[in-house]
Structure 1
Amino acid sequence: MMVGEDRIPGGSARAAAQRAVELMDVLLRERPTVELVTDVLVTHGEKEPLGLTAADVGELRAAAHALRAVFAAEGVAEAAAVLNDLLAANAAPPRLTSHGGEHPWHLHIDADDDGPWGRWLVTSSCLAFAVLLTDRQRPPGGLCASESCGRPFVDLGGGSPRRYCSTRCATRERVAAHRKRG
């Protein structure tokens, strides 16, 4: 497995966090497929063939469930505690890699370039989420407040924290509240 990083200059934490959320969106569905997961990874710069298997998708799905707790956190302290627990359980000492010259140099905190996909998702995501948390002093995102959704989202904007994963969910909830008021 050749695990690449973001194709955005500098391999930004923002891009890695967005990749994680897009993977989580697919992986937290009832039946994620190898094809759907591969599509997200390739969109974010992974090189084919990835060779993902159903077992890899199972590992990635377990990782996505563990990462969901970061978005469900009730505040910055709880999000930091979840990240610390995930890092303690999964991270190795930081190291720089270029995957044999195939990618620009970037930081990894997983044990090796050919390690398990699930561990890669947890460690690369936690690293990105931790950078966002420390930069902004608030959780890196949340769970959509729409009762019919609940998807995780990264909050990359300034100002007030987001409550919804998309304008579609926000509009749907606003219309429902308006109708309920009568």
Structure 2
Amino acid sequence: MSHSHSVRAVAQRTAALINVVSLEATTPDAVAEVLRAHGETGLIEVSPHDVAEMRTAATMLGQIFAARDVDEAASALNGLLRRNVGALRLTSHDDRSPWHPHLDSHDDAPWGEWFLASSCLALAVLIWDHQRPPGGVCASPNCQNVYLTVGSGPPRRYCSRRCATRERVAAYRRSHT
């Protein structure tokens, strides 16, 4: 599985995959499309079983995004690391990519195992580097998407400008009725 291996790129892929596999109607093709959009190359074969395993991983990873503070995020992540990932190893995927760390069992690990392990690794580095939760869950009651909080600025509450605008307009309408 070849991919951009920066921590931020992996974390962005994590959020995108959590959001797509959390949808009830998600298809293997939709998951493969997200993988391709985030740099995976070659033949991407995702089965309905893979989607189910990735959905389970997404539920576990969602605890980190829902954390109220860095201690809660780190505790949730530590639990996942303790129960669900293998030993740290370096791989270059048979010289197809630069050397980079993995926590899954092998280069051909199932998609669910790979997703959980690679996500845990990236989120651990983000927590370590920024000393805060790596993201959040959209505050819009009509949206449960997760998002990353990278960079400085005021704390985010929404996954996108669209959700923020929709909530501002709804609040304005409520206050003027």
Taking structure 2 as the reference length, the TM-score comes to 0.95
* Matched length: 176
Q: Which runs of 5+ in 1 are unaligned?
A: none
Secondary structure in 2 matching 1:163:
coil
CA distance in structure 2 between the aligned counterparts of 1:51 and 1:39, rounded to whole angstroms? 11
Q: Residue in 2 aligned with 1:17?
A: 11
How far does the alpha carbon of each residue in 1:34-76 deviate from its partner, in whole angstroms, 9 at most, with x for none? 1000111112222231222111111111111111111111211
**Percentage identity across paired residues of the two chains:** 51
Q: Residue in 2 aligned with 1:45?
A: 39
RMSD (Å), alpha carbons: 1.1
CA distance in structure 1 between the aligned counterparts of 2:70 and 2:41, rounded to whole angstroms? 35
Amino acid at match of 2:93: H
Secondary structure in 2 matching 1:107:
strand
Which of the residues 86, 89, 100 maps onto 1:92? 86
Secondary structure in 2 matching 1:96:
strand
Secondary structure in 1 matching 2:147:
strand
Amino acid at match of 1:39: E
Amino acid at match of 1:15: A
Q: Residue in 1 aligned with 2:48?
A: 54
Structure 1: 4+ residue segments shifted above 3 A: none
CA distance in structure 1 between the aligned counterparts of 2:41 and 2:22, rounded to whole angstroms? 23
Secondary structure in 1 matching 2:75:
helix
Amino acid at match of 2:69: G
Which of the residues 116, 123, 126 maps onto 1:129? 123
* CA shift for structure 1 position 129: 0.9
Q: Residue in 2 aligned with 1:4?
A: 2
